[in-house]
């Protein structure tokens, strides 16, 4: 795909999300990642979208359910932050956009990926040229 085609694909994906998906939210939680599996309000109302550190993770899901979780965390005194997004990315909330976007992608021309070949001789020459002795 050309750069222009890739850009068009990104724009198309965004349009499909807007057209087919309900609003959602993403919520950063500053707490032990095991907390997600221990609290039913979390795993019953959201999906684990990412783990950044042992003490920081992101949940994603439907707008009203993420708001419910945020209220719960507020009452518990657990630091959290609603991400400034309008959809529950990295969750099943965006699955309704998949059929349309998949159909679009199947109609795109994809070139064979470039294959880069490194020969042992090239590596040997590079190591010799860039060795410390070369600069002495």
What is the DSSP secondary structure assignment for residue 39, as one 8-state letter?
Answer: -
Residue 9, CA atoms < 13 Å, CB-side half-sphere = 16
What integer pLDDT is reported at residue 40 of this predicted model? Answer: 96
Residue 132 reports pLDDT greater than 60: no
**From the DSSP assignment, how many helices (H) and strands (E) are in the chain?**
6, 4
Phi-psi region of 27 (alpha: psi -120 to 50; beta: other; left: phi over 0): beta
Whole-model pTM over 0.75:
no
Segments forming the whole domain that contains residue 109: 3-135
pLDDT (average), residues 61-65: 95
Query: Nearest-CA neighbor of 88 among 53, 52, 50, 46?
Result: 46
pLDDT (average), residues 35-51: 95
pLDDT (average), residues 5-20: 91
Pairing of strands 47-53, 56-62: antiparallel
Number of separate domains in the chain? 1
Where are any strands of DSSP class E within 1-136?
Answer: 24-29, 47-53, 56-62, 80-82
Contact 21, 89 (CB under 8 A): no
CATH assignment at residue 26 = 3.30.70.250
Residue 134 reports pLDDT greater than 60: no
pLDDT, tens digit, for every residue of 81-131?
Answer: 999 999 999 999 999 999 999 999 888 877 666 666 555 555 554 544 444
């Amino acid at each position: 795909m050309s750069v222009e085609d890739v850009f068009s694909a990104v724009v198309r994906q965004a349009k499909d999300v807007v057209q087919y998906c309900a609003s959602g939210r993403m919520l950063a939680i500053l707490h032990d990642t095991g907390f997600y599996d221990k609290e039913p309000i979390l795993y019953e109302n959201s999906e684990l979208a990412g783990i950044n550190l042992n003490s920081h993770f992101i949940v994603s899901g439907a707008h009203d359910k993420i708001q419910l979780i945020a209220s719960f965390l507020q009452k518990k005194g657990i630091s959290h932050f609603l991400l400034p997004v309008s959809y529950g990315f990295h969750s099943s909330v965006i699955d309704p956009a998949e059929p349309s976007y998949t159909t679009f992608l199947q109609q795109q021309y994809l070139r064979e990926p470039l294959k880069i070949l490194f020969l042992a001789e090239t590596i040997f020459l590079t190591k010799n040229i860039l060795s410390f002795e070369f600069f002495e």
